[in-house]
Structure 1
Amino acid sequence: MVRVSKRQNDPVAKLRKAIETGHFLPGQRLPEIELAEWLGVNRVNVKLALGKLDQEGLVEVERNKGARVRVISQQEAVEILQTVASLETLIARNAAAKATADDGERLKKILTAIKQARAEEAYVEYLHEINKLHTEIRRIAALSTASRIVATLNAQIARFRFQTVLFPGRIKQSIQELEEIVDAICAANGVRAGKAMLEHLNNVAKALEQNLARVNA
């Protein structure tokens, strides 16, 4: 088993974020020499980083051809979202059972930041705060396997989430759904929290499907 040091993990995180945020586009080639210079590491660390992201489904490494950013279709993104919804439902139920008063206050604080970003039409920050809320819920639930799988799947579809934000009426509906999730967790109502999370993510998937239908019309 190859042991990767914390220093070697840095290029993995930087490259992952660059793909998630669109710095590197779907289908774009990722030459090792250029990446080594950009990341400030040697080619061995670049190979390790690309191998890790290949396992996560963010890049494709082809023998004798090198690596490129994996292309994920909108239909596949919908399927990934549906899978995430099932896992996040389990996570929300467990978070409701384990949340402390301090946990509840942190969730409410993030929810306030989400509303503020929406009021300022700061959509990148809005998405960032939503991701922060989901991350906090996963931390509270303390289900490491489910959380790890969700994080990997979410990284694959990060660029599609912005499309759902722009869907008419989606932001207002989304905030109402997130309020219900937070309220249920703070009330220690696992059934309600799971139901609210499932409804929220199913609606995200539905918005993406509607966008797909509109594009293909």
Structure 2
Amino acid sequence: MNRPAAPATSYEKLRAAIVRGEIAPNSRLVESDVVTSFDMTRAAVRNALIRLEQEGLVVREPHRGARVRQVTDSEAIEILQARAVLEGLAVRLTAERIDKAGAERLRESLARHRALLESGDLLGASDANADLHATLLQLSGHSTAQRLIHGLNSQTVRYQYRTILIAGRPAASQAEHAAIVEAVIAHEPEKAEDAMRRHLFNVADALQRGALTRIDSVSRGVIEAGGG
């Protein structure tokens, strides 16, 4: 019997707010505001900011305090390239270890992603995309890869909502995800690894071409015209 998940700590809630974009890039993290909003002591806030700086989510500047770090396009591209290698390894293991229950989870996740795309809910499809990747990673059982990829993803989560708006990218992403899942369920490790690497390198290439539509990171629904 699975134990219920432990309640999120104040630090985890603060970190999640940054990762989800609820606290926008370059926003100042005023100590007194964080104390009130996240029910933390001042000492806990200071420790949290140190940890978040170490993770690359926050920048602390002398005499200016802390702010949410803005990841550049070039950094996001490099992170996607690093993820391609790590997630390629992970899905290789998933393909070796997949069972019937895991295969059903992947089919359901892939179907949800497809349905959201077909309904025109691009933001929902972006969340489903992240869920599919997370499921593939979890099923690999590779704890170190999970930890490293989680750290990389936390810095580029806001780019998920930009890349899905590239012309032709949603359909391509669906086809690439289907190829990954098919190879995993068929217990074809090399094919699964190659499919994952090609998928993430394709996303990196699309981002590198630039001229991407931006989405307001707070509302997650206000589309702004302009290049990336």
Query: Above 0.5 in TM-score?
Result: yes
Say whether residues 1:84 and 2:83 are aligned partners: yes
Check conservation: 1:12, 1:53, Cα contact below 8 A: no
Identity of aligned residues (%): 34
Tell me the secondary structure at the aligned position of residue 215 of structure 1: coil
Residue 215 of structure 1 is matched in structure 2 by: 227
Check conservation: 1:11, 1:46, Cα contact below 8 A: no
Q: Distance in 2 between matches of 1:157 and 1:179?
A: 23
Residue 143 of structure 2 is matched in structure 1 by: 144
TM superposition shift of 1:13? 2.3
TM superposition shift of 1:17? 2.3
Matches within 5 A, 1:147-186: 147-186=146-185
Q: Distance in 2 between matches of 1:124 and 1:149?
A: 25
Say whether residues 1:46 and 2:73 are aligned partners: no
Residue 195 of structure 1 is matched in structure 2 by: 194
TM superposition shift of 1:95? 0.6
The one-letter code sitting in structure 2 at the alignment partner of 1:68 is R
The one-letter code sitting in structure 2 at the alignment partner of 1:39 is F
TM-score if structure 2 supplies the norm length? 0.86
TM superposition shift of 1:164? 0.7
TM superposition shift of 1:71? 1.8
Q: Distance in 2 between matches of 1:45 and 1:132?
A: 31
Q: Distance in 2 between matches of 1:150 and 1:139?
A: 11
Residue 61 of structure 2 is matched in structure 1 by: 62
* Pairs aligned (count): 210
The one-letter code sitting in structure 2 at the alignment partner of 1:80 is I
Structure 2 stretches lacking a partner, 5+ long: 1-5, 213-225
Q: Distance in 2 between matches of 1:149 and 1:63?
A: 29
Residue 33 of structure 1 is matched in structure 2 by: 32
Q: Distance in 1 between matches of 2:12 and 2:211?
A: 30
TM-score if structure 1 supplies the norm length? 0.90
Residue 115 of structure 2 is matched in structure 1 by: 116
The one-letter code sitting in structure 2 at the alignment partner of 1:74 is D
TM superposition shift of 1:62? 3.0
Q: RMSD of aligned C-alpha atoms? A: 1.8
TM superposition shift of 1:97? 0.5
Q: Distance in 2 between matches of 1:66 and 1:183?
A: 49
Check conservation: 1:74, 1:212, Cα contact below 8 A: no
Q: Distance in 1 between matches of 2:73 and 2:80?
A: 10
Of 164-173 and 42-51, the range deviating more from structure 2:
42-51
TM superposition shift of 1:21? 2.6
